[in-house]
Structure 1
Amino acid sequence: MWTLTSKFILIDIASILYCFLVIVEGAKLQTFTAEYGPFNETYYDILEVIWPATISSGALQVTPDAASSDFKLSNKSARVLLNQRFKLWEEHASQPQLASFNTSFLFNVFRPFNDTAAEGLAFMIAPNLLLPPGSMGQFLGLTNTMGDTSDTANRFVAVELDTSRQCFDPDNNHVGIDVNNIKSIKTESLAPHNITIAPIGMAKFYNVWVDYDGLNMVIDVYIAEQPEITSPTPPKPGSPILSADLDLREHVNQYAYLGFSASTGNASQLNRVLMWNLTVQHFSDSGKELDKWMKIMLGAGLAVLVLVLVFAVGFGYRYRKLRTVAPSSNLVGALQRLPATPREFKFRDLKKATSRFDEKNKLGQGGFGMVYRGMLVKENMEIAVKLFSRENIKGQHDFLSELTIINRLRHKHLVKLLGWCHKKGKLLLVYEYMPNGSLDKHLFIGPNKEPLEWNLRYKIISGLALALHYLHNEYDQKVVHRDLKASNIMLDSDFNARLGDFGLARALDNGRTSYAEAEGVLGTMGYIAPECFLTGKATRQSDIYAFGAVLLEVICGQRPGTRIAGFQFLVDWVWLLHRDGKLLEVVDQRLGDNYIVEEANRLLLLGLACSHPSASERPRTQSILQMISGAMPVPYVPPFKPAFVWPAGEPMDMDSVNTVSITTSDSVSEWSPKNLSSENSAGHTDSLV
């Protein structure tokens, strides 16, 4: 009785102390202040300059400032965002809180051909670092035709400086406040204020101030002309030109980015930002400070509580021997303390659903366990049950690692976790069932079966890229998957890609850019980036390499580790045909001519770009998404595969490693890393979920 009572009291007190600390720490505001400009190439390190935006001539060219024979200034959209996100609001049971910010920027809009002005420029609060495809013209780089009809999901707020009139605008020279939609909630014509954003035949410079008061939930906009770019900044006007009540919690993500967007339509204009000042009072997450105080307060509080309990109920007990807590008890305790604890299934229900884990219900098997198909009759729901095979401390570590990460992930292109079960040493995870199985089962089929259609392959690649971008950039922590491959990509009833198997995935703590496994390099040959064999570290860039391998696998219908034409890896063969100008010859022959040439060429080049031996040369996920959609060209891919050189300067998203310089051949076949899983030529997959 003593043990049971004290257990629950201790848990309750620990929860109270934890909640108290989160509220105290979470309510603290931090102030970020910065002055930017004149702009030069060093700003590429702190700004996300989304093509075709550039930094040139001392300014952010939010829409392109130079035309060429094959590149026009019309019908373009772009964004330039600070690549640091801010926590703009905090939600507590006692009192919700909103951050405040003040920003000012010097801009000018110029019509290069003195014709009709073209659309405009906006300061925005953005949910992510992506540019919506098709956001040119009236959409100002903020949204697009599809997004503007479902504005509640857009999650942006913008102050537009509009130079083109739509049916809902007052004129072609106005300022407006946009909330998740290009139809402003409030506008003000600028002509009565003697302000012309884009005068014909000349460039005028204007300072804009945007102030948001988080306490009173009011946004104010001020504008004043600056005679010359070198002139002193004019004083801020005494009253705003536009003001509106605005509760940011209802319209933007808790974590958001700040910056600029712009677009051109059938006509063209230059949209330039020359100086930018920003002050944000944002909320800080608890981080290491919370961990430190948690240990101190919980340690002290629990020690006192234990003493009280001992004296209160221990008159009859002069001494109790401390008992070692079984590993299974530790595991259950860890599971119960998970945030938003997932559902706990009963073992007997899962046993019944899978017909006692009958072999005929087996979907796949891998290094971490077996996956079975099941049916919960009472709920009329099909499930996939992953039974972990290693019933020891290492197996529990794998189980907890996967559950801890995927429990909090929420994305339509990730396999959804339904719950867990721990019974009699058995560790199980329960996922939603994917009717079409894994991608590899549709790529590597018998000669008499129809190959996977081109439009479905393109759709799967797009979905996988969205999932990877979410893990790398949009989740609370950066997550490296570490095991991206066709057998871990599941397909729902509509052949939407769902990335699964997070047994190797790891969330990177704040400030960390890589993860090192004590046991060495983990993963599957053909998908592992060459630098991993030297550093033993997984990074977002090594995930990109694996994505490139999958991309080539989907287009070619060949496994990345396939020996072909004398090459040990598929990527080397593809690079050879790229050199010879025969790139399309690698497209899966079973498709015949049933594919889109332009798309195939673009995706193959993207696959090679992602497979670049140098981590710093591989594109990032936000660029990959735009390349897949065709909104951004694929970077230059050299005709000869570059040699792997280490170290290779300062790679992105990788810790610097002190090691000798090593130059290898195009192949990494001489390496013999430990713990590499494999897939045989018969199409056996080593994991499903």
Structure 2
Amino acid sequence: MGSPGKLVIIFLLLFLTITTAKKPFKFDYESFNKTYPAPDTLQFTEDTAVSQGALQITPDTSNSLETYRQNKSGRVVFQTPFKLWEGNVNSTAGKIASFNTSFGVNIYRVNNTSPGEGFAFIIAPDLNIPAQSYGQYLGLTNASTDGNWTNHLIAIELDTVRQEFDPDDNHMGLNINSIKSNKVVSLASQGIIIAPPKALNYTVWIQYNGTQKVIKVYMALQGKPMPKVPVLNESLNIGWYLNQYSYFGFSASTGNLIQLNCVLRWDLTVEILPEDNDRTWLKIGLVTGTSGLALLLVAAVGFYYFLHKGRPVNDPRIMGALRSLPGTPREFSFKDLRRATNNFDEKLKLGQGGFGIVYKGVLAKENNMEIAVKKFSRENIQGKDDFLAELTIINRLRHKHLVRLVGWCHKNGMLLLVYDYMPNGSLDNHLFGKQDKILSWDRRYKIISGVASAINYLHNEYDQKVVHRDLKASNIMLDSNYNARLGDFGLARALENEKTSYADIGGIPGTLGYIAPECFHTGKATRESDVYGFGAVVLEVVCGERPWTKIAGFQCVVDWVWMLHRENRIFEAVDERLGGDFNTEEAERLILLGLACSHPISGERPKPQTIVQIISGSVPPPYIPPFKPAFVWPVMEPTGDSSMTNTHDTTPMSSSYYGVSQESNTGYSDLYTV
């Protein structure tokens, strides 16, 4: 336990951490009316108002006189200021708050005339609006103050009128103390028209990372997921420009041209920095004398016992990372998730893997919404940096063939992750479990097509290269319409610098039968090894046999299928349970594709884009030699964007790896894993 003096110091430091830690401030206005939010929550200036379920930042349609709407400006600001920085913001000792916000916006052309002038999300030094800030000044500045460093203002503008310093009349800009944007992006190339002839609602996401000092802004049609690539992505030290205490809100303006500037919904999360008086307890504690020291020692011993013997405490790093996740995941209360799963009833258990247990849950308060709850204890989370990095990857993935992360809960050292519930379970269960009906050929083909689309997204379409590393049938879930949803990103890695392998930690991940042969020698996974795993899944779905099945004297399914291909008997490989009810052209296409993806030489495997085209029938499958080529080692490392040196473990896989499971999963076993 150590000396009493050391223990007291440790206790003081721990108590300081716990006492000063604060939850981020959050609010979420799903709509607006005259009584919601409370009148003293938002500050309205000029002709702003709540009308038609929205914040009208400039006059709305209630006045028929067009001239009434001209040359107007307005602001709506949250009345409580936030402490956004402390200390020396140019040094590591300084601290800058992170924040995330999203809002719905509608910029409406009145009588289908040309729109003007613009709308902005603002961080301002006070609740006031400058005089004569209409027209090009967007309610931000005016002719005499524009560009002054004393403005202490940052804004993200949506501008609908072109000035001499603008690229066009449909752009987004990052503005600092001026209407002249420090960074501007034309939105035409993004497929976005701020104020189209037929009104459209948009969602804007703004994410600021106070540690990295980077701001990212995304924009999409309402109802669409947050895009994978931000419209704006800029380095920004807000401590250089903003008052230490600043306000969040919106501003807008009209000129001779008019538009309606409507905010339909708004949520905001701001990291709370400690106030100076939060630390005064330490001064008191240090002057309490001997009796105070004795009291602290007793408390420290009790705290030590609690830490090691009692209930676990929350990890502040995990809590902070979870609460700063970009996008839409929400924090669930432990009570609600416990109630949803009937106190984690074994009868609701969907599966169990190496990282925890998955339960089905029903949120009664939310129209009996069905969810899948992944429960794993603090001991399951090894390597927190890797865990948090991977969780960030999962959170931002948005694709119709990926299982979606809905939210999270972290309580008493227990982490719960909440995902969309997949009512039809896993592909593995439909192929090999006790099912009343055999999975039809049409559904099998549709599932393979969906998985191929997901892999192409991970490898090529997401803004980072993501290698899944554990493609198998038990990690492919089926929604109510039997659409494939790829899950289990517990082994996933984002690959940077256009390189496609990763520095693995702790040996080769995956499941025997799905692992490419080169992985046993390199200790690395690549996009090519993901393709190999996909090939194993393709043959598994077509043949109705697990990859490692010994069949007709062969040690694995792929060798058996290759023999059938050589002897022009490939249709004998199709699952006999289908009773011949399958499309022969599609079957031949998938079998040849499965063999191509299973090529022992990684460079000979097709790319995901080609795989998608083969499945769609737009291009033919590649030539497959009659005899399976031999795996040769060493092979040439892939070049260009296909390699990264394994800096953690360059040794071949040890023989103990062969203890990897060849499980007969019944669904949800390792799915939803982080």
Same fold (TM over 0.5): yes
Alignment of 1:62-461 (within 5 A): 92=174, 95=181, 97-99=183-185, 316=284, 318=286, 328-340=315-327, 342-379=329-366, 380-388=368-376, 391=379, 393-394=381-382, 400=388, 402-446=390-434, 449-461=436-448
Which residue does 2:655 correspond to in 1?
672
Which residue does 1:479 correspond to in 2?
466
Displacement of 1:639 = 1.2
Q: Pick one of 583, 608, 612 that aligns with 2:570.
A: 583
3-state DSSP class of the match of 2:610? helix
3-state DSSP class of the match of 1:394? coil
Displacement of 1:560 = 0.8
Displacement of 1:657 = 5.9
Task: Decide whether aligned partners of structure 1 residues 294 and 394 sit closer, same or farther in structure 2, where only a CA change above 3 A counts.
Answer: farther
Which residue does 1:648 correspond to in 2?
635
Task: Decide whether aligned partners of structure 1 residues 295 and 441 sit closer, same or farther in structure 2, where only a CA change above 3 A counts.
Answer: farther
Alpha-carbon distance between aligned partners in 2 of 1:391 and 1:98, rounded to the nearest angstrom:
47
TM-score, length-scaled by structure 1? 0.55
Residues 375 and 383 of structure 1 are in contact (CA less than 8 Å); yes or no, is this contact kept in structure 2?
Answer: yes
Displacement of 1:618 = 1.1
Displacement of 1:461 = 0.7
Displacement of 1:646 = 2.6
3-state DSSP class of the match of 1:391? helix
Given the alignment of the two structures, is residue 17 of structure 1 paired with residue 96 of structure 2, yes or no? yes
Residues 89 and 283 of structure 1 are in contact (CA less than 8 Å); yes or no, is this contact kept in structure 2?
Answer: no
1:365-408 Cα deviation digits (max 9, x unpaired): 11111111111112111111111256354186676455322211
Residues 535 and 657 of structure 1 are in contact (CA less than 8 Å); yes or no, is this contact kept in structure 2?
Answer: no
Q: Pick one of 554, 572, 576 that aligns with 2:559.
A: 572
Displacement of 1:672 = 3.3
**1:431 is aligned with what amino acid?**
Y
3-state DSSP class of the match of 1:442? helix
Residues 597 and 606 of structure 2 are in contact (CA less than 8 Å); yes or no, is this contact kept in structure 1?
Answer: yes
Alpha-carbon distance between aligned partners in 1 of 2:625 and 2:662, rounded to the nearest angstrom:
30
Q: Answer with 620-629 or 383-392: which moved more.
A: 383-392
1:129-183 Cα deviation digits (max 9, x unpaired): xxxxxxxxxxxxxxxxxxxxxxxxxx599xxxxxxxxxxxxxxxxxxxxx9xxxx
Which residue does 1:562 correspond to in 2?
549
Displacement of 1:345 = 1.3
Displacement of 1:522 = 1.0
**1:559 is aligned with what amino acid?**
R
Which residue does 2:670 correspond to in 1?
687
Displacement of 1:10 = 11
RMSD over aligned CA atoms reads: 4.5
Alpha-carbon distance between aligned partners in 1 of 2:239 and 2:622, rounded to the nearest angstrom:
49
Mark the runs of 5 or more structure 2 residues left unpaired by the alignment.
1-14, 26-82, 87-94, 100-169, 197-217, 242-272, 288-292, 308-312
Displacement of 1:327 = 6.3
**1:467 is aligned with what amino acid?**
A
**2:398 is aligned with what amino acid?**
R
**2:372 is aligned with what amino acid?**
A
Residues 428 and 667 of structure 2 are in contact (CA less than 8 Å); yes or no, is this contact kept in structure 1?
Answer: no
Alignment of 1:544-563 (within 5 A): 544-563=531-550
Residues 98 and 249 of structure 1 are in contact (CA less than 8 Å); yes or no, is this contact kept in structure 2?
Answer: no
Alpha-carbon distance between aligned partners in 2 of 1:527 and 1:89, rounded to the nearest angstrom:
47
Displacement of 1:679 = 3.5
Alpha-carbon distance between aligned partners in 2 of 1:349 and 1:284, rounded to the nearest angstrom:
37
Residues 523 and 675 of structure 1 are in contact (CA less than 8 Å); yes or no, is this contact kept in structure 2?
Answer: no
Displacement of 1:688 = 3.2
**2:342 is aligned with what amino acid?**
S
Task: Decide whether aligned partners of structure 1 residues 656 and 684 sit closer, same or farther in structure 2, where only a CA change above 3 A counts.
Answer: closer
Q: Answer with 306-315 or 392-401: which moved more.
A: 306-315
Given the alignment of the two structures, is residue 638 of structure 1 paired with residue 625 of structure 2, yes or no? yes
Residues 524 and 676 of structure 1 are in contact (CA less than 8 Å); yes or no, is this contact kept in structure 2?
Answer: no
Task: Decide whether aligned partners of structure 1 residues 580 and 474 sit closer, same or farther in structure 2, where only a CA change above 3 A counts.
Answer: same
Task: Decide whether aligned partners of structure 1 residues 579 and 382 sit closer, same or farther in structure 2, where only a CA change above 3 A counts.
Answer: same
Displacement of 1:581 = 1.5
Displacement of 1:337 = 2.5
Alignment of 1:481-560 (within 5 A): 481-560=468-547
**1:369 is aligned with what amino acid?**
G
1:243-267 Cα deviation digits (max 9, x unpaired): xxxxx9889x9889xxxxxxxxxxx
3-state DSSP class of the match of 1:627? helix
3-state DSSP class of the match of 1:626? helix
Percent of residue pairs identical: 56
1:313-340 Cα deviation digits (max 9, x unpaired): 7654558999999662332122223223
Alpha-carbon distance between aligned partners in 2 of 1:89 and 1:525, rounded to the nearest angstrom:
51
Alpha-carbon distance between aligned partners in 2 of 1:412 and 1:464, rounded to the nearest angstrom:
10
TM-score, length-scaled by structure 2? 0.57
